[in-house]
Structure 1
C-alpha cells in the first residue's frame, strides 16, 4: 500500500495542493497573459452597449481556454462556466467591460486613439475607470482555473458585463438587463465577487461590510423661457438666468433640507446647456446632474425637493421648468453581505500580503454590481493600482487615470483566494 501511495505521488505530485499553492507556482505566467490582455483592451476601448469587438475578443480568449462562451445576455455581455471536478458551490465572478467618453492624455505605447460620437459630439474613448484591468484580471483567473479544475470545488460563472457606466439614453443595459434576461435563472450562484481598481497604494486591497457604494441616478431639468434679442432682455424670459438660479438653489437640499446628523447624500449639476449665439437669449435651457445617497428614502425626498425648487425658482423668473428623474436608469446602493465581508477579509488580506484595510465609510461612487448583490450574497472590493511609491495619482474617470500592471497580481490572487476559501467553507457546512 505504501509503495502504491508513493507511486501515485510520483505520477501526480501536486494532487494534494490547493488552488492558492498552484497559483504561486503559476503566477508569473498568468500575469504575463494578464498584462498583454490589459494593454490590448486599453488600446481598443468601446462605449456602453457598443462593446462588440471587446465581446468578440473575450469570447475568443475563453474559447482558447476550452470554455464555451455565451453571448446571449446584456447585448454585448459574455458569460461562461468553469466546471470543477469536485463538488461545491456555484461562485460568480464579475468584471465590467465598457469604456468612457474621455480623450486619453496618457502617453503610453498602448494608449487609446479611438474616437466616436457621443451625445452628438465627437469624443475620444478611454478605459478611464480601469475596466480594461477588470477584464484582464478575470481572464487571468479563468485561464488559471480552467487548467486546474481538478483542484476546483464546485463551479465558476464568469460574468463579463457591459454598460456598467450606464446604457445610452433610451436603452437598457448592464447588470440589470443581464438579470432581466435570465442570467441567474439558468443556475443561481451561491455568492458573487467583484473587483474595482482605483487610485491608491499599489496592490493594497480594501472593502467594507454593508453599504460600500452609493445609489445613483441622473436628473434633468428643462427650463422654458421666451426667446428675445440679447439687447432687449425685458422683451423675453431668460431661461439661462433661471437655470443658473436653480443650479445654485439645488445645493441647499443637502446643506439645508436633509438631516445632517443622519443623511449622506450628494446633489451635483454636471451639465448646463443653452443658447447658440452671444446676443440671443434662447427659449430653453437645461441642466443635468446626479443624485447619490445611501438610503432609498433620502433619494425619494431629494427628488421631491428638486422638483419643488425647479418649478418654483423658474416661476419666480416667469419661466417654467420640468424635472425628470432616472433619465438613464438608476443604480441601487451597493451592499456587501456582512457575513461574506467579515469572514473573507482575511482572504483579501492574504492576497495583498497584509496590505489590507476595512473602510469605515462608503464611497459616493456607484456600481451596478449592486443589482447582482441584491439577488445573491455579494462581496465587492477595491484594489490600488498606483505606480509603486505614488500616493497621489489621478482618480478614476480622469484622462490621466493610470493602472500599474504590477498591482494586478493581487487582484488575481484575491479572486482565487475567495474561490478556494468560500468553496471550502461551503462544503464544510453542507
Structure 2
C-alpha cells in the first residue's frame, strides 16, 4: 500500500522555473498558501473517501458551507440542488469575479490502493454501485476551499468581490440536465452580478502543468436513444417477423460512416459513439424491439445540427429498408466549453507565474464535455486543466479520468490553489484600474 503523508511546505511552495517576479499581493499569497496546504490535502482525502453521486452531495455541501461560514462569508446553500455559494466582499470597491468547483462523484468502484480510498456504495439506475471521485472533483473542492481561505485572509486588499461556486451534478443530474444550469436558474450569476468566471479541472497530465486553449476547448455533448421497432417471432422462423437486432446492427455500422465518410473532420473533430445495445431475453425469440444508446460530440452548432440530421436519416432509412421503424431521441446535452479569447490572453501571464512559464502549455481540443460552458455563455470565462499524474507515470498509458484506477498526485494541489487565487486577484486588480 502506498503511503501519502502531508507534503512538506518547502516542496509545495517551490518557486517554479521561469516564474515572473511576484507583486506584493502575490508574495502574500505565497505566505498564505504555505499555511493552508496541509488543510487542502486533508480536505481532499476526506472528500475522496466520502464521495457522493450527482444530485446527492449532502455531506460535501455541508463541509463546504461550514468552512465558508467560518471564514466570515455570506453563504447560500441549496442553490440548484445541493449547490453552495460563498460571497467574499473585498475591502475596496471593484467588480465581481467567480471561481467554480464541482462536487459530485461517479458510479465507479475504486481500485486504487490508497489509505483513504472510497468504500462507498450507492444505488444508480436501479443497480448497486461503488462510488468514486474518478474524475477528480475531490481535488477541485479542496483547491477551491483552500483558495477561499487564502483570499478571505486578504479581504481588506481585495478591490472587488469574489464569488465561490461549489456546484453539484456536473456529471448530470438524475432528473436531467446539469448542476450549472440549475444554479444559474436559481440566480447564482445575478446576486451579486458576476462579471467573469474561472474554473479548473484536474486530468491525467504532467504533474503541475497547466494547459489552456482559447476559443472552443471542450465539446458539446448530446446523448441519443434509438428504439428499433420490429416484429417478434420464433428464432427458428425469422421470416415470420422483423428482426430489430439485425436492423439495429446495420444502424450501428451506418452511424460509423457519419464521421468517417460524411463529416469534414479537417474543420472540426466530431464523434458518434454507440455505448449500449439492448435487445432480447431468450436465445430462440427474436424480440419486438432493440434499443441503441450513445453520445454525439461536436464543436460547432452547424456541425451539431448536421450530425443530428444524419443520425435521424441513417436510422430511419435503414429501418425502412427492412420493414422496421425507429424512434430517435437526442437530448439537449451540454454546449461547447468556449474560453473567451481576450480573457485567456489577458490571464496567461498569471498562469505562467502560478505554475512557471515552461509549465503552461496550449491544450488540444478535448472531446470531453463540461457544464461550466453554461457559466461561460453568460459571462467571459476561462477553464484550465491541471496535470496530476505522478512524475514516473507513462502519460500514454496512465489511467485517465473516469477510470477506477484514476489517481491524482497531491503535489499538484498547491499549483491549483495558487492559480485560482492568482486569477481572482489579478483579474480584480486589472479590472479596478
Superposition TM-score, scaled by structure 2 size: 0.91
Structure 1 residue 280: Cα displacement = 2.4
Tell whether 2:159 aligns with 1:156.
Answer: no
Tell whether 2:188 aligns with 1:192.
Answer: no
Trace 1:291-330 onto structure 2 (pairs within 5 A).
Answer: 291-326=296-331, 329-330=332-333
Deviates more, 1:259-268 or 1:101-110: 259-268
In 1: Cα distance, 2:319 partner to 2:60 partner: 45
In 2: Cα distance, 1:189 partner to 1:390 partner: 39
The one-character-per-residue Cα deviations of 1:150-189 (angstroms, maximum 9, x if unpaired) are 2222110000011111122x44441111112222222221
Structure 1 residue 359: Cα displacement = 2.3
Aligned to 1:78: 84
Trace 1:104-119 onto structure 2 (pairs within 5 A).
Answer: 104-119=110-125
CA contact (8 A) 2:150 2:421 kept: no
Trace 1:244-263 onto structure 2 (pairs within 5 A).
Answer: 244-263=249-268
In 1: Cα distance, 2:187 partner to 2:173 partner: 18
Trace 1:4-403 onto structure 2 (pairs within 5 A).
Answer: 18-168=24-174, 170-326=175-331, 329-359=332-362, 361-392=364-395, 393-403=398-408
CA contact (8 A) 1:253 1:302 kept: yes
Structure 1 residue 360: Cα displacement = 5.9
Structure 1 residue 350: Cα displacement = 1.2
SS at match of 1:234: helix
Tell whether 2:432 aligns with 1:424.
Answer: no
In 2: Cα distance, 1:118 partner to 1:278 partner: 28
The one-character-per-residue Cα deviations of 1:256-302 (angstroms, maximum 9, x if unpaired) are 11224323211111111112233322211111111111110111111
In 2: Cα distance, 1:42 partner to 1:285 partner: 38
In 2: Cα distance, 1:151 partner to 1:165 partner: 36
Superposition TM-score, scaled by structure 1 size: 0.92
SS at match of 1:251: helix
Structure 1 residue 318: Cα displacement = 2.3
CA contact (8 A) 1:19 1:152 kept: no
Q: Which runs of 5+ in 1 are unaligned?
A: 1-15
CA contact (8 A) 2:171 2:178 kept: no
CA contact (8 A) 2:205 2:389 kept: yes
In 1: Cα distance, 2:98 partner to 2:221 partner: 24
Structure 1 residue 17: Cα displacement = 7.5
The one-character-per-residue Cα deviations of 1:401-423 (angstroms, maximum 9, x if unpaired) are 11111101100010121122111
Structure 1 residue 27: Cα displacement = 2.2
In 2: Cα distance, 1:361 partner to 1:385 partner: 17
CA contact (8 A) 1:219 1:291 kept: yes
In 2: Cα distance, 1:151 partner to 1:353 partner: 25
Aligned residues: 410
In 2: Cα distance, 1:323 partner to 1:306 partner: 8
Deviates more, 1:230-239 or 1:94-103: 230-239
In 1: Cα distance, 2:425 partner to 2:73 partner: 20
The one-character-per-residue Cα deviations of 1:176-230 (angstroms, maximum 9, x if unpaired) are 1111222222222121000000001100001011111111110110111222233
SS at match of 1:38: helix
CA RMSD of aligned residues (A): 1.7
CA contact (8 A) 1:49 1:173 kept: no
Q: Which runs of 5+ in 2 are unaligned?
A: 1-21
